[in-house]
Structure 1
């Protein structure tokens, strides 16, 4: 086959793959139903009832109006001769229902009289704007004052001093990305991306990292985050070490608490390993677990409010990451304004935890810090009367 024949074959192949000419700019059925969609019929009536609106949008009307005010400028588009643009309020409500119910984009296509591809574009656009416009407001960069306030919250509510936050990671189910092989296939034998988060004693996320491969070695997930890198290089603005109480003379660093998936270090505490533990070590593990439950509860509130996280997210991996980011931002945004709703945590979400890592023992200083806490939890000042009944 000479060069001319090769060129002809290539030309014919490319011609066969040309995009099919659109039959309609907007399908007539969609245009006919646009005025009878949920946004134009049910939504105005729901806005008149505060309780119904909260159930519909997963936030109060006041909070929604603030969200709309923040995003309107970035979501507004110009009308054209071809069609009128979709209003920002329409886009946001459509996206919130997708995140809140976990329904498919095809369901929204029929309910809101928008094209299936248009729904996908809207969800991506709104999720990206939520992250870019609201990240600094909802998950601000920590300062030393912020860390001290968080530590005071854990000391007051969980009786755990010097705690900068509870940390954990969860596998978010996704449909296998194209041409990804086993990169996203985790030890639980399904495809996922990893959400690693830190929370305070008010169930607010203070740090999130989203998008690591599901098959990533769980003991190294934390080490790939900016939080770890800044903790190691000293730029995280962690307060200087201090005494944890008047009866403990040792200077103790401020630190994060996690489970066995995280390596022990001076700024990271994990439980004692093994089975035949002394009473002191069992008490420490109980107190650590009691404080670490804040991150478990935070994940529970997150997934039960934004139920897209209850099922495998069936979009491309970039949009899946945008969706998880938007859910985390909305979690903080709504919680700060509307507080806690009991129905948010009625069910336990299926968000598998990270695989346990029993290889990292920590250096001598880290081991000593853990022992100081263990001793404090059984002395007269630091003990809780009921803790001995829990082991």
Structure 2
């Protein structure tokens, strides 16, 4: 009896589907099945327990702080054991994330070292970075209060001899992989794709506020005036009430200090253009004082990039994950700075020399300033030339 061609095709499709369903699914590659014997975490990391110096070099923090951080994150990054497989431990997940941040290696390189999947590394990095921010930010980078600004002003006045300054502000381009369908939005003037990390820094090299994710093509001034920080603390209000500079009587605004990438405002001081300063000793003295103090934010970025070398090469992931990575690194910076102080977080203390300008600054802006802004700067000029 002849069988129709339609029936033949139907039976073949059913047989193929059956064979596919019976085929064994491979959960883990053969190489990765040896993770607990030969993976970097199991083979190398545990040996660091008796070598504090090597532990610090590898993890970028002491054993005590690693354990403290791990304890904080356990409830948020743990996975349930199933009948099919045992999940990667919370400790190993944290180690994978820290090594990615510390080395800047690709997901594939980290995957080979730890004998896990490349996509697994990507998932771990995103999740752990998100939880680092969610866990540490409320304590180590909380929303600034009036007392925050008062303490910052005291530090800048006593340490850097710049009264009425409540913070140094700057924006840096963080190189990223070209985002899909982004056009030129993330393409910056240095001819690479980037997101911008805008930060205000206190006198102790810690981040007071950060704003991450603005398009790389935007200027510092434009980013600042569109930031959440600006809307909450600056627009239509003052950071702190005006007060006289030491030894004077006329009230002067409290200010942030920035470079030529920012427009001069009553709340934000920038240096005089070099052509003007070289012809006027008073302006030169003001520029020297401002630039010396503004090095706080430059050095903070340098310390950040030197410890977390993910900033030394393009971050190869989607924009949202890149933002999570940047925020986590900044929070870790504050966490370590608070816990360990300055002794081992200065740029000179790391194992290798890294250019302080690994993060690229913005172009100068020539936006017109108000008369009030010029008058405020002149008050500081007069004070620094007494």
Instruction: Quote how far apart the aligned CAs of 1:274 are.
Output: 5.0
Contact 2:35 2:42 survives alignment (8 Å): no
Residues 338-347 or 121-130, more deviating: 338-347
Instruction: Quote how far apart the aligned CAs of 1:181 are.
Output: 1.2
Contact 1:105 1:119 survives alignment (8 Å): yes
Secondary structure of the corresponding residue to residue 196 of structure 2? strand
Counterpart of 1:90?
A: 92
Determine the C-alpha separation between the residues in 1 that align with 2:45 and 2:311: 24
Counterpart of 2:382?
A: 375
Counterpart of 2:266?
A: 266
2:199 aligned to 197, 200, 214, which one?
197
2:26 aligned to 24, 27, 34, which one?
24
Within a 5 Å distance, the mapping from 1:293-308 to structure 2 comes to 293-308=295-310
Corresponding position: 1:157 with 2:159? yes
Determine the C-alpha separation between the residues in 1 that align with 2:107 and 2:174: 19
Paired residue total: 357
Deviation digits for residues 106-165 of structure 1 (CA, Å, limit 9, x no counterpart): 111111111111111000100010111111111111111111111111111111001110
Instruction: Quote how far apart the aligned CAs of 1:105 are.
Output: 1.2
1:140 aligned to 139, 142, 154, which one?
142
- TM-score (normalised: structure 1): 0.88
Counterpart of 1:5?
A: none
Residues 24-33 or 207-216, more deviating: 24-33
Distance change >3 Å, CA 121–CA 22, structure 1 → 2: farther
Within a 5 Å distance, the mapping from 1:49-128 to structure 2 comes to 49-128=51-130
Contact 1:199 1:205 survives alignment (8 Å): yes
Give ranges in structure 1 of 5+ residues lacking alignment: 1-19, 380-391
Instruction: Quote how far apart the aligned CAs of 1:49 are.
Output: 1.4
2:367 aligned to 352, 359, 377, which one?
359
Deviation digits for residues 314-357 of structure 1 (CA, Å, limit 9, x no counterpart): 11111111111111011111111122323348422421101110
Determine the C-alpha separation between the residues in 2 that align with 1:170 and 1:233: 22
Counterpart of 1:239?
A: 240
Determine the C-alpha separation between the residues in 2 that align with 1:46 and 1:71: 21
1:176 aligned to 158, 175, 178, which one?
178
Determine the C-alpha separation between the residues in 2 that align with 1:293 and 1:299: 10
Counterpart of 2:349?
A: 343
Secondary structure of the corresponding residue to residue 169 of structure 2? strand
Contact 1:266 1:369 survives alignment (8 Å): yes
Determine the C-alpha separation between the residues in 2 that align with 1:38 and 1:111: 6
Secondary structure of the corresponding residue to residue 275 of structure 2? coil
Contact 1:99 1:308 survives alignment (8 Å): yes
Residues 191-200 or 104-113, more deviating: 104-113
Larger Cα-atom Rg: 2
Residues 328-337 or 31-40, more deviating: 31-40
Contact 1:273 1:358 survives alignment (8 Å): no
Corresponding position: 1:228 with 2:230? yes
Counterpart of 1:387?
A: none
Determine the C-alpha separation between the residues in 1 that align with 2:147 and 2:117: 48
Give ranges in structure 2 of 5+ residues lacking alignment: 1-20
Counterpart of 1:279?
A: 281
Determine the C-alpha separation between the residues in 2 that align with 1:197 and 1:86: 35
2:133 aligned to 123, 131, 134, which one?
131
Secondary structure of the corresponding residue to residue 42 of structure 2? coil
Instruction: Quote how far apart the aligned CAs of 1:234 are.
Output: 5.0
Instruction: Quote how far apart the aligned CAs of 1:196 are.
Output: 0.4
Secondary structure of the corresponding residue to residue 195 of structure 2? strand
Secondary structure of the corresponding residue to residue 50 of structure 2? coil
RMSD value, Cα: 1.7
